[in-house]
Amino acid sequence: MATSKIGLPTNAVTGVLPTANGGTGNASGTATPTSAINLAASGAGGVTGNLPVGNLNGGTSASSSTFWRGDGAWVTPTDLNGLSGADQWRTNSTVSGDINPLTNVERNDTSGFGGIGSAMTQSSGIFTFPTTGYWLIRFDALFFGSADSRYNNAFIYKTINNSSYTEAAYNSCLIQQTNSASAYGFCSQAFIFDVTSTTDRKVKFAIGVDDNATSLQGQQDVNNTTFTFLKLGDT
């Protein structure tokens, strides 16, 4: 029995080394690793280069605007820059009494105003959203009265079927004279609306006052009473 190593010239051994002896067991020379490969290693044993896009879900939906998510899908990132939609409207004149819906509205066009994404649209006081998503709706109402008025209400109404409207939010403010002087009252309310359809899901705004002489303030060049719409994310 040999007790020392046998020196063989280069390329002197041919054939396939059995797997039991530490070989591949096939003539192709493809080795089956017996331990995990260190992907983070540098140099020999490490992995370099780029994994082809086609190797990830066949490249389906892959583009310059998508990324590979942990659940095994190419998806489009949302809200990378914060809000994906923002718009603001206001009343453009002063009105009195109970009104439902408010129709004396215009989009903010004051110098310096900036919105994000497509604008809201409205017809006869009914507001339509430009896209689906979770929208924060805020109604800030400025009232004015020359007499005491306890209940001056501002309402947000919503529909989910483009037909019947129900209250989504409402608030009330007090106008109380001091030394017989006229006074203002301000109230604000908000609602997060899951707009799953821009056709069926819409909003409108209304007011109700204790004294019909109480007015809701509005101007064409500055904000008094406003309606603000912020898209928080996708539905």
Query: Is residue 24 over pLDDT 90?
Result: no
Higher pLDDT residue, 30 or 75? Answer: 75
Residue reference for tokens 């799953």: 196
pLDDT value at position 34? 60
Closest of 66, 28, 166, 218 to residue 226, by C-alpha: 218
**Residues in contact with 24: Cβ distance below 8 Å, sequence separation at least 6, in sequence order:** 16, 17, 30, 31, 32
Grade residue 36 by pLDDT with cuts at 50, 70 and 90: low
The structural domains of the chain, ordered by start, are 85-233 (2.60.120.40)
pTM of the model: 0.68
pLDDT value at position 8? 47
Segment 171-218, tens digit of pLDDT:
999 988 777 778 999 999 999 999 999 999 999 999 999 888 899 999
Q: Given the DSSP bridges, would you call strands 73-75 and 67-69 parallel, antiparallel or unpaired?
A: antiparallel
Query: Is residue 114 over pLDDT 50?
Result: yes
Query: Is residue 55 over pLDDT 90?
Result: no
